[in-house]
Homo-oligomer: A and B are copies of this chain.
Amino acid sequence: MAVTIYDIAKLSGVSIATISRVVNGSPRVSEKTRAKVLEVMKENNYTPNPFARSLQFDSMRTIGISCSDISDEYMARSVSNIEKKLHEYGYDYMLFCSGYEQASKEYAVDLLLKKKVDALILIGSSFLGSGDDEDVAYLHKAAESIPVFIINGYLKDKNIYCVLHDDFNALYEATDRLIKSGRKKVLFLYDSESYSAQQKMAGYEAALRDNRLPVDGNLKLKITGTIHEERDILLVRKDLTFDAVVTTVDELAVGALKYAKARMLKVPEDISIVGYNNSLLACCVEPELTSVDSSVKELSKMAVVKIMECIQGEKVAHKTVVKGQLIRRCSTDF
């Protein structure tokens, strides 16, 4: 069995209360006994039992994080940055990858709640489902017991805090630039109906309208599946004509690239392509992708800062929007 506070007390010749005080850095201990206790602790390699402390404090200093899929680069980068920032505050986290189904997302949140984490971070607006009351009920319920932070999704609630990338303007800008550089038919490729995807679509449409171009329903194409499946779908859809593609995620842009290659179209001359997230992929493919940097790092770190403010009882903004940046590479000619 590990050494306990009782062992240290006995060996130091003081009570357990005193040991506890030095462990917790209380000033109400004489220097002499503090030194003695510290020494004994070190000698015996004492570590306070975290379970007992948690029971006392009713907190494990642990944040629950959920994301749909940790092998998605965006989410992985988010978790990575959250972790770093969390450690700065001496917090740990439990991660639960939820998948994309409603039931499994609810299950993930429920389990994290049962673990009594101090707050919840949900990465990606997929946690909002369609945004219907029914789909977000579990979030409101979670928010009754602990603060809930959503990265890149928005839901209004007293105890829900959202940190968002400005997806609307990012896609507005991308689309606008394409048009201004002479493109007439811009295809919008998306892979989900999440809040974030909706924002992107709205930005795309606004740019079309502002440039007096029609919003053609056929040019908004939802694609789920692999890169190759996407290529094949585009190849089959001979009815579609387009000279530019904007996407909600880099993978879709890669699929468009595959399509261009299959059709022997030159990128960006015959077809310009814009990705989203500025992932590793963007630099690996050829030509390298112009892509929106969606500031994962900033969003993630900001979420942690706000959580800590929240835990400390400070007032925190319920919605924080961060601007992105269009990284120009070779798949566009603007």
Contact = CB atoms under 8 A, between A and B. Distances in A.
A69 B58 CA distance: 31
Interface in A41-65: 47, 49-52, 54-55, 58, 60, 62
A280 B249 CA distance: 14
Contacts of A47: 114
A94 to B, nearest CB: 6
B73 A69 contact: no
A261 B283 contact: no
Nearest to A81: B71
B283 A50 contact: no
Contacts of A77: 71
Contacts of A103: none
B60 A70 contact: no
Contacts of A76: 70-71, 73, 76
15 contacts: A49-B55, A50-B116, A51-B116, A54-B54, A62-B94, A70-B70, A70-B83, A71-B73, A71-B76, A83-B95, A92-B111, A93-B95, A227-B284, A251-B284, A257-B286
- Top 8 closest A-B pairs, CB basis? A51-B54, A51-B55, A71-B76, A76-B76, A71-B77, A254-B284, A71-B80, A70-B80
A271 interface: no
Interface of A: 47, 49-52, 54-55, 58, 60, 62, 69-71, 73, 76-77, 79-80, 83-84, 92-97, 111, 114-116, 226-228, 251, 254, 257-258, 261, 280-281, 283-286
A137 to B, nearest CB: 15
A116 B49 contact: yes
Given A83-B97, A93-B95, A283 B55 contact: no
Nearest to A53: B51
Copies of this chain = 2
Contacts of A283: 226-228
A254 B77 CA distance: 21
Contacts of A285: 284-286
A327 B328 CA distance: 33
A318 to B, nearest CB: 25
A52 B51 CA distance: 7
From A95, A96, A254, residue with most partner B Cβ within 10 Å: A95
Given A51-B51, A251-B280, 14 more contacts: A49-B116, A50-B114, A51-B58, A51-B60, A54-B54, A70-B70, A71-B77, A84-B97, A92-B96, A226-B283, A281-B284, A284-B284, A284-B285, A286-B286
